[in-house]
Each structure stands twice: as C-alpha cells, then as structure tokens.
Structure 1
C-alpha cells in the first residue's frame, strides 16, 4: 500500500469512527425526549439552552478572545447552516409527539439517499453501484414502515421526520462544501436560535429534576456531541457514506426506549429497520476492501 493510499484509508477510518460514535450519541435522543416528558416548546427551550451553553463554553475556550469576531464572521453558509440546524432541533421533538421513536428513526434512514442526491447535484460527488443497491434496499425498509402508518398522527410524524431528514442532509453537505465553517460554533448559535423561537410558547414552570436531566442530556450528548461528531466525521468520507453510517441509529434508538419505557416497535418498524441495517452492513463490508495497487510504470 502506498503512502497516499495509507493516508486515504487512515482518514476514512477516522471519519467512519466519528460518524459511528455520533450515531450512538444521537440514538439516545428519543430516550431523553421520553425521559423529559414535556410539551414541545418547553422541551426545546430547556434542551437547546443546555446545548447552546455547553457548546458555547467549548467555543469560548477554543477561540478565546476571538469568539465574537467568529460569530460576526460566520458568513452566509454559516447562516444557512444555523437556520437549518435550528429547524432540525425542533422538528425531531415535534415528530416524536406524533409517532414512535422506531417510526421516526426508520424514516431517518432515507438520509443517505437524500445526502447523496444533494451532494451529486451540488458537489458533483459520484456514487458507486454498491451504494445505489444499498440505498434501494434501505428505501424498501422505509417503505415497509411508512406503509404501516395507522393513524393521522403517525402520518404527520412521518412527514415531519422526512423534513427533518432533508434538513440534516443539507447540513451534512453544507459542512463538507464549506470546510472552513465552524460547525461547533454554528451549532451553538442554532441551539440558541431554537430556544429563542420556542421561548414565547413554553411553560414557564420549573420542570422536575428528572425532566431537567432528560433535557440536559439531550442537549449535551445527543445534540451537542452527536451532531458535531457526524459533521466533523462526515467531512472525511463521502456524504452518502456518512448518511449510511448514521442509519445505525435506526436500531439503537428504538432499543433504548423499549428497554427503559416499554415502547415496543411495530413488526413493520422492526422489519424496516433490519432491512436498512442489513444494507448498511453489506455496503460497509464492500467498501472496506483496499484500493488496488497502481500498475508499475
């Protein structure tokens, strides 16, 4: 293996590791939403404030005296990212008010296809035939879950879940297109924006300690750490591949709420999630094969 190939696979492995870790962190979001058990606006305000403060402290330490200069110089790509991220911060909670964690996570499985389509149109990223096959299989899993929507609330939750997925796909591509964008700072600003938008509609009573714990853990672990690991790692690998890796959340998310709250997924959600996870596993096993050595000149 040449030095160039070693660098490529080393970077790719780091990207895969970061995005996989983000999937584990983000998979806990549904658990913490159920733990908080608050209305949409109140939950968003408390968890978004936690995320904003946590990420803000990290940014302040890292940037030191340049924090305000960095905020003012975030530019239009950063502004687009902030607005979309603020939407993501509220839409996930909204979706969970209408349908189950399993349904939300399975719809989220369309992320790799959406991210790849956007990256293809915007960044001209090429995709392999293996990826296309894996994406089709994953979409079949999504169709199984979506087709089993039993109520109007389920349908609303699925629609909101898909809008959230499209928004997160745009975030992935924007962070890759503008490599100098400070995603940590932008995520902190986005959390603050989400809290400010929802504040007029929140319940101003003080939540219980358990409810606050759910909000803080959601803000710091799921949002603060999970999203940023995905965005940093996503810069090291293809947009579609990053999307495929995040599909590991589909399995983990429903498991947490089933173990702690007894929220059992439907048979259709289980089959859909298993189908999507199988596609991820197969694709990654194919992509791990080393690059061929160049022919001697």
Structure 2
C-alpha cells in the first residue's frame, strides 16, 4: 500500500467512525443500553464472520484459551464500546467526541507515570491547554450538569484506551511480535472479545427490547460499518502509518462527527463548546505535529 493510499484509507476510517452520533439521533424507540446492546451485537456478528473467513475455524479454539494480554485488551475494548454509546444518549455528539479526543494525551500521562516514559515540554503544554478547553466548555453551559454526566461517561473511552495501550506495553506488547516480525498475538481477537463482553453486559439492562425494525437497520449499520469495519482497517493501517500519524488523522473524527450532527441531526454548537473544542483539537494537533517533526529530525541526524 502506498503512503497516499494509507492516508486516504485512514480518512475513510474516520468518516465511518464519525457517523455514530448522527445515526443514533434518528432512532425511533431504542434508547441507551439497548442501543449499545444491538450495536455491539451486530459488531460481534460482523467480526466473527470476517475473522473466521481470514483466520479459519482455529480462531474459535484460540478464543477458548485467550492469553492474559488478549483478556485485558478485550475488557478495555468492551468499556470503550459501552461508554461511547451510552454517552451519546446522554449529551451532545460534540461533547462526546471532544472528550474522546483526549485519548492521546491521557495515554501520554499514563505511560509517563506508570512506564516512566519522558514527556516533552510540548506534550505537557498540550495537556494543560486541552484541560483548559474542557473546563471552558462546561464553565458557562446552561445545561452543565446534564452535559457533565454524559461527558464523564464518555471519558471512559479515552481512559480505557489509555489503560489498554499502557498495559499492553507493560506486560505483553513486546512479546506480540517474533524476531522475524510475525505476530504471536492476534489482537483482533481482543476486539471480538470486547464486543462480546459489551453485548453480554448490556443484555439484562436492555431488556425488554423496544427497538423497531427501522432502529435495528440503523444499529446493524453502526455495528458493521461504524465499528467492526474500521477496527479491521485500523489494524491493517498500523503496518503503514506511525502511531503519531494515526493519532493525528484520527482527530478528523471530531470534525466530521460534529459536522454531521449539525447538518442532519439539528445539534447546535454553543460558543463555549466551539471555543473549548478548538482549544482541545488545537493542542492535540500541535502536539502530534511536533512529535512527527522531532521524529523526522532524529531520523535525519542518524543518517
């Protein structure tokens, strides 16, 4: 895959991710936990089909005895799947996506405190600016309490993602690749386990089901094309693009998602949400650009 093809495909991934909010706003009767149940359930079906097709029946034998790394990652994925959809039903799409965008900075903090990775001054500055942006979003919000509850739930997504990455680095990421660069652990199994755990956890809370056939059609769209397909594509793209590049391109989800919610779901952005969100996104983009610049400069010095 060429570099322009990889970048274009990552933009497609962010477009797929970004449709969750606007699609959820067009549901008829399904609410909260049931929305999460059906989305995760359809994701399980799609991933099971795709992975069985590519991995063969041996996939299911391996799932009976997953490693500790796979289990930890799967639990984190389940929290991410669940917290995101519940949060979307509690606050605006913009609030959820902006809070989720904190993921790279939370991960940087976790690796600093738990793995003793050194953080650049620009990263500390980005964390401070992003935190200021989040505070500004809610400082003058007339529905601050309502927005805060949904945003706190959505915070589970970047926190779980940060725990996932940090723990994998600490206990197993170095052992998921053999000396000849072949994967020992199939991390897509973790995504499948996460979707299964999310579905099972939501089942008793979603009962009795109220989703209409119209709702089931939309939720199957989310499970297959907004969740399962991007997961498969991102794993492939990790072989083509660096982590900072993936993180930087991933921020397009916020722009796309907020735009769709504004155009097709009638969600209006307050001036405080807009200015606070711009602070968060500006801090993230600037930090990732500095990381890419530092990496390229280090590579040139080594030549």
Q: What TM-score, normalized by structure 1, do the two folds share?
A: 0.81
72 and 84 in structure 1: CA distance in 2 versus 1, 3 angstrom threshold: same
The size of the alignment, in residue pairs, is 285
Instruction: Please name the residue that 2:16 is paired with.
Output: 25
Aligned with residue 171 of structure 1, among 164, 177, 180 = 164
CA distance, structure 2, for counterparts of residue 169 and residue 229 of structure 1: 20
Secondary structure of the structure 2 residue equivalent to 1:157: helix
Instruction: Please name the residue that 1:106 is paired with.
Output: 98
Q: Report whether the alignment pairs 1:120 with 2:112.
A: yes
2:248–2:285 CA contact under 8 A, matched in 1: no
47 and 144 in structure 1: CA distance in 2 versus 1, 3 angstrom threshold: same
Query: How many Å apart are 1:231 and its aligned residue?
Result: 5.7
Instruction: Please name the residue that 1:187 is paired with.
Output: 191
The 5-angstrom pairing of residues 1-297 of structure 1 reads 21-37=12-28, 38-149=30-141, 150-174=143-167, 177-178=172-173, 179=176, 180-205=184-209, 207-230=211-234, 233=237, 237-238=242-243, 243-289=247-293, 290-291=296-297, 293-294=300-301
2:34–2:209 CA contact under 8 A, matched in 1: no
CA distance, structure 2, for counterparts of residue 241 and residue 215 of structure 1: 30
CA distance, structure 1, for counterparts of residue 302 and residue 99 of structure 2: 44
Instruction: Please name the residue that 1:6 is paired with.
Output: none
Secondary structure of the structure 2 residue equivalent to 1:35: coil
Query: How many Å apart are 1:217 and its aligned residue?
Result: 1.9
218 and 275 in structure 1: CA distance in 2 versus 1, 3 angstrom threshold: same
Superposed CA offset, 1:146-194 (max 9, x none): 3344243222112112122201222334455524442322212221221
Superposed CA offset, 1:76-135 (max 9, x none): 121112222112222112212221111111212221111112223444444433333333
Structure 2 residues not aligned, in runs of 5+: 177-183
CA distance, structure 2, for counterparts of residue 70 and residue 102 of structure 1: 39
134 and 276 in structure 1: CA distance in 2 versus 1, 3 angstrom threshold: same
2:32–2:86 CA contact under 8 A, matched in 1: yes
